[in-house]
Amino acid sequence: MSSENTTAPAPAEQEAPRATANRSTTPGSEAFKQYIGSGWADRPAVLPEAREQAAFAAARRARVSELFPGKRLIIPAGRLKQRSNDTDYAFRAHSAFTHLTGWGSDSEPGSVLVLEPTAAGHEATLYFRERAGRDSDEFYANPEIGEFWIGPRPSLAQVSSDLGLPTRGIAEVAAVLDAVDADTIVLREADPALTDRVDAARLVLAADAGAEADAEEHADDDRLARDLSELRLVKDAYEIAELRAAIAATARGFDDVIADLPRIVAHPRGERLVEGVFNGRARADGNAVGYDTIAASGPHACILHWTRNDGPVVPGDLILLDAGVEVDSYYTADITRTFPIDGTFTETQRLVYEAVREAADAAFAIVRPGIRFREIHATAMAVIAERTAEWGLLPVSAEEALQADNQHHRRYMVHGTSHHLGLDVHDCAQARRELYMDGVLQPGMTFTIEPGLYFQPDDLTVPEEFRGIGVRIEDDILVTEDGAENLSIAIPRTADDVEAWVQRLNAR
């Protein structure tokens, strides 16, 4: 397709999907329309240089093209999702779309990337809702997409130059959908409404051919989702740099929380303040948080995904903070630290904490190219079994507990030890097991190591002094050519360093 960047004329009337006509006071007189449509300065015609990730995104598209010769590929960004009535959640493009375009927090809702097959491979075109002209009423009268309401949208030419991609207006994607054939594949989950249109076209094709739909009708779509997920298993240099930036911002967020502990402790819902302080750093230094922050104080630390964050933060307890900054490219950190609120571990808290760190360090020590991903978990679990058996918590020995038919130690750590990390906090989730859990580590893979121990407050299998203690230590790991790098090693980890960290930031 052509890369011509001409702006299609906007329709005279374009109503927002959830327009609020019953309370609208926007003038509709011809005099008003003529007046508001005139007297505007020309927009600057300067085009941006291509962003750094544009070349990396082009290389990724080339790899996808090799996987699907002769196939038309449709990868939508997704659309705004309704929060309530006429308000939406903040838009975040689908990770596969971002990976293949380089468009992150500034991407436009409803955009669609199309890879059209050619004799040489594929030609990529990005379709999006371009800037409306001042000769339409959209820019002032449409509260969902109008410039007066949400700010100016970029032009086709600006985005084309920025991303190094041919662009077309979103209205022209209709021609792509009209051309759906047996060789058209769509990333189904990204935009359900667009997927429905593709499926409807497929039904017409099947009916015309006298065929019936079968269980394999979406096999190619499923393969596309899988392959796009697997494409992210090994990160390129740009991705690794973005993860480093996200981790550095996250480290600053942890410092912010600890420095604000006196105010946090004084509030009856101190966990909310922990969440708010960290989120402030995420918005200041990045796009947002990469996932809902877990600010789990005291026994809440035993609830693995505690995101209600409405409890007090009490001196003498531990607080488990699991949080990550998502930078504007959408790459996110995922880090957990557990620290004593008053700056000093009790004897039992320190015992549990150092056992978890021992498990994390043992797992990290084996990371190198050539081992299988699942070996990381097995190594951490061996330490957890040894320590819980040593403390007399298990009804069997550590060796017996580690047998597949037993697993008694998993009562105190039911989750896994590692997951891949990148554009999604649980990245590459649709990859095949043989490439993920049973996969062989390669340089450029990034993932977490996050063992823990959680002793529920009503668990009668542990001594009373253990009950209500939850500890997790989570770091972000990069596989290198000859081993591994802990990308988050600068955030204090040992019990002594954690105590010094809390005490130092609260002595100011």
What's the pTM value of the predicted model, to 2 decimals? 0.94
Alpha helices in 151-191 (DSSP H): 156-163, 173-178
Phi-psi region of 343 (alpha: psi -120 to 50; beta: other; left: phi over 0): left
d(CA 356, CA 362): 10
In degrees rounded to 5, what are phi and psi of residue 110?
A: 85, 0
3-state class (DSSP) for residue 289: strand
d(CA 276, CA 391): 38
Label the pairing between strands 121-128 and 167-169. Answer: parallel
In degrees rounded to 5, what are phi and psi of residue 211?
A: -100, 165
d(CA 373, CA 385): 20
Q: In sequence order, what DSSP letters do the residues of 304-352 get, joined into one string? A: TT-----S---TTSEEEEEE-EE-TTS-B--EEEEEETTS---HHHHHH
d(CA 197, CA 178): 9
The residues facing 476 across adjacent strands are 448
Contact 135, 8 (CB under 8 A): no
Measured at the CA of 33, the angle between CA 27 and CA 34, to 5 degrees, comes to 145
**pLDDT tens, residue by residue, 2-28:** 333 333 333 333 444 455 566 678 888
Q: Which domains are assigned to the chain?
A: 21-37+46-230 (3.40.350.10), 237-505 (3.90.230.10)
Q: Cβ-count burial of 137 within 10 angstroms (0-12 exposed, 13-18 middle, 19+ buried)? A: buried
d(CA 91, CA 110): 10
Contact 352, 309 (CB under 8 A): no
Query: If you count DSSP H runs as helices and E runs as strands, how many of each does the chain have, helices first?
Result: 16, 17
Contact 249, 286 (CB under 8 A): yes
The one-digit pLDDT tens for each residue of the chain (508 residues) are 333 333 333 333 344 445 556 667 888 899 999 999 999 998 877 899 999 999 999 999 999 999 999 999 999 999 999 999 888 999 999 999 999 999 999 999 999 999 999 999 999 999 999 888 888 888 888 888 888 888 888 999 999 999 999 999 999 999 999 999 999 999 999 999 999 999 999 999 888 887 765 545 799 999 999 999 999 999 999 999 999 999 999 999 999 999 999 999 999 999 999 999 999 999 999 999 999 999 999 999 999 999 999 999 999 999 999 999 999 999 999 999 999 999 999 999 999 999 999 999 999 999 999 999 999 999 999 999 999 999 999 999 999 999 999 999 999 999 999 999 999 999 999 999 999 999 999 999 999 999 999 999 999 999 999 999 999 999 999 999 999 999 999 999 999 999 999 999 998 6
- DSSP type of residue 474: B
